[in-house]
Structure 1
Amino acid sequence: MDSTIQEYLDALRGKRVAVIGIGVSNAPLIKMLLRADIPVTACDRNPREAFGGLIEELESLGAETRLGSGYLEGLDHDVIFRTPGLRPDVPQLQAARERGSLVTSEMEVFFQVCPCEIIGVTGSDGKTTTTTIIAELLKKAGYNVYVGGNIGKPLLAETPNMEPDDMVVLELSSFQLMTMDVSPDVAVVTNLAPNHLDVHKSMEEYIAAKENIFTHQCTEDRAVFNYDNEITRSFGGESRGRVTMFSRRQTLDRGVYVKNNAIWISGEDGSREVLPLSGILLPGEHNVENYMAAIGAVDGLVSDETIRAFARTFGGVEHRIELVRTLDGVRYYNDSIASSPSRTIAGLRSFKEKVILIAGGYDKHIPFDVLGPEIIEHVKLLILTGDTAGKICEAVEHSPGYDGANPPIQRFDDFTQAVLAAHTVAQSGDVVLMSPACASFDRFKNFMERGNAFKQIVREL
């Protein structure tokens, strides 16, 4: 901790501050700054009517607002808070830096002023479930836990309430990590695969952003990496912290691994069985990996008995292979969080039977080659919708083993019609899985809205 939040706010007095993005993470920040008598210009590309009464509330507190297409013009403020969704190298921010502006973010400042230990989780898949498991395990162990980042609520305004013995668990995206020059006390990387290449200039830039979660650690910090993922395995040689690897496929001399149908951990004190796989309520091998990552993060903080008791009852996080309904013997699952091929592959492998898969969505310019063979192996009917329907169809048709009808493929422009088509053909014993392998922005505001739309359609069947 470099300073307290009050010391930070005191240092801002007399300076002009701009906050870019008036969304979930930055609205509390804007209010906190205004209540500390710090002048704020709140900027957002969306028009006034998109915010309900929020803009009027901020203006009543003293904010100046810049909305619409010119929201980035005239950034000459002393301090500029960047929203994670805005690249740090856009011309307007570059020009502001050259004029002497300090460009930062709500998350970067939180790391400066947080008074307690931080566990950070990133990766291409499994971030939210792993973050949630870690946070809930710590709560069960008696800690006062704050959850933030991509899930939970913005935490900067909460720091006055935090005590040194509390714990913070953060889910961190590549966009949040891009400009970070500090790392959490415990860094977890679940896996890495091509993702968000519509925003990142290259896979190399995406990996470099993720690496920031551990590159600024010291030797007393802990880093938890996936040994089975080639990229994250390589991080072990780059980390300055104490490295814990986890592997579902290899027995490790030091780390977390699967042996005799149970999760084990080994270290200086020897090896011990922590959690039988039969004691994990969540389906899927990827959730075994999520538990291994979490166990690596909380080892020494949470007892094995607490881990076992929790795993028996934890049913997962909304929109992540979420059982919506069983109707006429057909199970309908919402996996809207699956915005990448690797995430959908994990979902497909969670079921013993072949599924009716609903896929497709916004194009993030990532390849679907790896998805094609998995669909042939795990899908009895493929229903495609959204901007990427054609690309996914090509990936399947060009995969070895595709004979023109294995699986049959249907395409629908309308999302509702796609879900209704799955219902029409499904028979007792079938699984209908909505796992898009794509982001949602072609039709929906976010994956949550897409998942909720799916659930509403299914519940009305």
Structure 2
Amino acid sequence: MSLAKHAVIQPEHVVILGLARQGRALARFYSMMGVRVTISDTRSREVLAPEIKDMEMFDINYVLGEHPMALLDDCDLLCLSGGVPLDIPIVLEACSRGIPLSNDAQEFLARCPAPVVGITGSAGKTTTTTLVGEMLKSAGYTTWVGGNIGNPLINTLPQIQKQDRVVMELSSFQLALMTVSPYVAGVLNITPNHLDRHKTMDAYIAAKRHIVAYQSPDDYAVLGKDDENAWALRRAIPAKVYGFSGVTAVDQGSFLHDDQLMLRREGMQTAVCERSDIHLRGDHNVLNVLAAISLANLVGAPVTAMREAIKAFEGVEHRLEEVRTLDSVLWVNDSIATAPERVLAALASYTEPLILLAGGRDKDLPWADFARQAIQRVTVMVLFGEAAPLIYGVIKHAMTKALNASSPVLLDEVLVVDNLAEAVAEARGMSAPGDVVLLSPGGTSFDAYRDFAERGMHFRSLVQAL
């Protein structure tokens, strides 16, 4: 699909596909501008009743249950919510007719008067985005944080001033159609994820690349040096490149040295904080903090403000979130872990005996490396949801292979249950003092929940009720 460089246009009629959070934000924005707005969603009016009620103050035309081609007949801008693929017939037809494509993130970036830090990656986006926001607030800036998390920033565009700072999480779904890049772009890592949507790793990388592809020589790109795919982007982008690394020094950027987090910029090197100042578990979170240091500093956060924010930062919901300790067993909510690789990062964050709750819906991702490492780290595994049979098969294969090779296997038992409530009940019965019960699913929540947050909240309520 060929996309033209995006420019701000003043459409007469916008068609928005999808009545989810991002689609509603765009509908409000254009309605308040006096633009005619049509929203189309394949779901029924009955299913969408709460969303339609939320928009009742706006004059919006709804076409529900399908996306008819007639929507394009007098449309001069087609906007997609994040969950709408680029390869459905109406989007392909729009491209063939030369109708511009956009989304809430692109329309916001094209209009925002303040410097924007955009952050993407297969993992760590939300933690890094939130921490950069805290660093800039600590530095005294009026700071707006949102995008793929929380608030679609186009909702607050009229309030944002030139001297403010904006921190924006961007997903591959958003980036896939975007032709505008932020002033400071961060790519934390690019590892297999969302292959059910992007189909190939090359297509997934291409979507992520859009965050830096349209930068100018006056812009900045901050890339994870320890990640091969992220670091490779430096070869074909016009922006000034900064790096961050947990294993080696970088010429410009941030890195770990003798348990100190260092910042090197324009020939000056400064210790920002000690590793022990970070409250978050895991080496992956050290990398998130290093990325945040480079990103926040490039838009004006001094070392003192960054240090203060790091020392105060306790993390974000559903990311290795400690729910409670019951009978000397720690229960941890890592519902955000929707890829096998992210589960491995969670497992590496603990030295205690682990009971792992994994499952959900698979995204056509490879599970073999997860299985190989998990059987050496987890004592009990409770599998739930659509992906449970798949994961069970991969685990059994890994165990057989390890035992035939006389390799060590710590995993003692694997249980398969129908849902999260049953998984929690089984874990409660099998846990012993000193254990950690870790919900780190590896699959999405869409087999049973609206999103990972709803799954995480359900886990919390189940654990609190024990």
Task: Report the TM-score, using the length of structure 1 for normalisation.
Answer: 0.93
Question: What's the counterpart of residue 77 of structure 2?
Answer: 79
Q: Which of 58, 62, 81 is residue 59 of structure 2 equivalent to?
A: 62
- What is the letter of the counterpart of residue 252 of structure 1? V
- The whole-number CA distance in structure 2 between the counterparts of 1:72 and 1:342 is 39
Per-residue CA deviation, residues 249-278 of structure 1 (Å, 9 max, x unaligned), is 223343321111111122332322111001
Per-residue CA deviation, residues 349-374 of structure 1 (Å, 9 max, x unaligned), is 11112311000110211010110122
Cα 1:431–1:58 change in 2 (3 A) is closer
- The whole-number CA distance in structure 2 between the counterparts of 1:17 and 1:413 is 43
Structure 2 residue runs of 5 or longer lacking an equivalent are 1-6
- What is the letter of the counterpart of residue 63 of structure 1? I
Cα 1:381–1:27 change in 2 (3 A) is same
- What is the letter of the counterpart of residue 86 of structure 1? V
* Secondary structure of 1:362's aligned partner: coil
- The whole-number CA distance in structure 2 between the counterparts of 1:8 and 1:406 is 56
- What is the letter of the counterpart of residue 180 of structure 2? V
| More displaced stretch, 279-288 vs 247-256 | 247-256
* Secondary structure of 1:120's aligned partner: strand
2:434 corresponds to 1:429: yes
Per-residue CA deviation, residues 233-253 of structure 1 (Å, 9 max, x unaligned), is 211222211111111122334
Structure 1 residue 327: Cα displacement:
0.5
Answer yes or no: is the 8 Å Cα contact 2:80–2:102 preserved in 1: yes
* Secondary structure of 1:442's aligned partner: coil
2:44 corresponds to 1:47: yes
- The whole-number CA distance in structure 2 between the counterparts of 1:20 and 1:437 is 29
2:295 corresponds to 1:294: no
| More displaced stretch, 93-102 vs 354-363 | 93-102
- The whole-number CA distance in structure 2 between the counterparts of 1:43 and 1:134 is 35
- The whole-number CA distance in structure 1 between the counterparts of 2:138 and 2:58 is 39
- What is the letter of the counterpart of residue 336 of structure 1? S
Structure 1 residue 217: Cα displacement:
0.9
Q: Which of 13, 29, 35 is residue 38 of structure 1 equivalent to?
A: 35
Aligned length: 451
Equivalent positions of 1:138-287 (< 5 A) are 138-287=136-285
| More displaced stretch, 439-448 vs 122-131 | 439-448
- What is the letter of the counterpart of residue 75 of structure 1? L
Question: What's the counterpart of residue 120 of structure 1?
Answer: 118
Question: What's the counterpart of residue 4 of structure 1?
Answer: none
2:416 corresponds to 1:419: no
- What is the letter of the counterpart of residue 443 of structure 1? A
Question: What's the counterpart of residue 438 of structure 1?
Answer: 443
Cα 1:102–1:333 change in 2 (3 A) is same
Answer yes or no: is the 8 Å Cα contact 2:189–2:230 preserved in 1: yes
2:312 corresponds to 1:307: no
Question: What's the counterpart of residue 334 of structure 1?
Answer: 333
Question: What's the counterpart of residue 374 of structure 2?
Answer: 375
2:21 corresponds to 1:16: no
Report percent identity of matched pairs.
Answer: 37
Answer yes or no: is the 8 Å Cα contact 2:13–2:36 preserved in 1: yes
Cα 1:23–1:61 change in 2 (3 A) is same
Cα RMSD (Å) of the superposition?
1.9
| More displaced stretch, 34-43 vs 95-104 | 95-104
Cα 1:252–1:96 change in 2 (3 A) is closer
Structure 1 residue 58: Cα displacement:
3.8
Answer yes or no: is the 8 Å Cα contact 2:16–2:40 preserved in 1: yes
Structure 1 residue runs of 5 or longer lacking an equivalent are 1-6
Answer yes or no: is the 8 Å Cα contact 2:375–2:410 preserved in 1: no
- The whole-number CA distance in structure 2 between the counterparts of 1:38 and 1:219 is 35
* Secondary structure of 2:382's aligned partner: strand
- The whole-number CA distance in structure 1 between the counterparts of 2:462 and 2:308 is 35
Structure 1 residue 111: Cα displacement:
1.4
Question: What's the counterpart of residue 3 of structure 2?
Answer: none
Question: What's the counterpart of residue 402 of structure 2?
Answer: 401
Answer yes or no: is the 8 Å Cα contact 2:36–2:60 preserved in 1: yes
Structure 1 residue 57: Cα displacement:
5.8
Answer yes or no: is the 8 Å Cα contact 1:141–1:302 preserved in 2: yes
- The whole-number CA distance in structure 2 between the counterparts of 1:53 and 1:405 is 48
Per-residue CA deviation, residues 391-429 of structure 1 (Å, 9 max, x unaligned), is 222333333535777332111122211111001111111
- The whole-number CA distance in structure 1 between the counterparts of 2:53 and 2:306 is 47
Cα 1:340–1:33 change in 2 (3 A) is same
Cα 1:35–1:224 change in 2 (3 A) is closer
Per-residue CA deviation, residues 136-177 of structure 1 (Å, 9 max, x unaligned), is 110110111111211131222422221111111110000100
Cα 1:57–1:127 change in 2 (3 A) is closer
Cα 1:255–1:390 change in 2 (3 A) is same
Answer yes or no: is the 8 Å Cα contact 2:190–2:230 preserved in 1: yes
Cα 1:96–1:237 change in 2 (3 A) is closer
- The whole-number CA distance in structure 1 between the counterparts of 2:419 and 2:315 is 29
- The whole-number CA distance in structure 2 between the counterparts of 1:101 and 1:227 is 38
2:453 corresponds to 1:455: no
Task: Report the TM-score, using the length of structure 2 for normalisation.
Answer: 0.92
Answer yes or no: is the 8 Å Cα contact 1:78–1:100 preserved in 2: no
* Secondary structure of 2:197's aligned partner: coil
Per-residue CA deviation, residues 192-215 of structure 1 (Å, 9 max, x unaligned), is 111101111211000000001111
Answer yes or no: is the 8 Å Cα contact 2:353–2:434 preserved in 1: no
Cα 1:382–1:54 change in 2 (3 A) is closer
Cα 1:393–1:16 change in 2 (3 A) is same
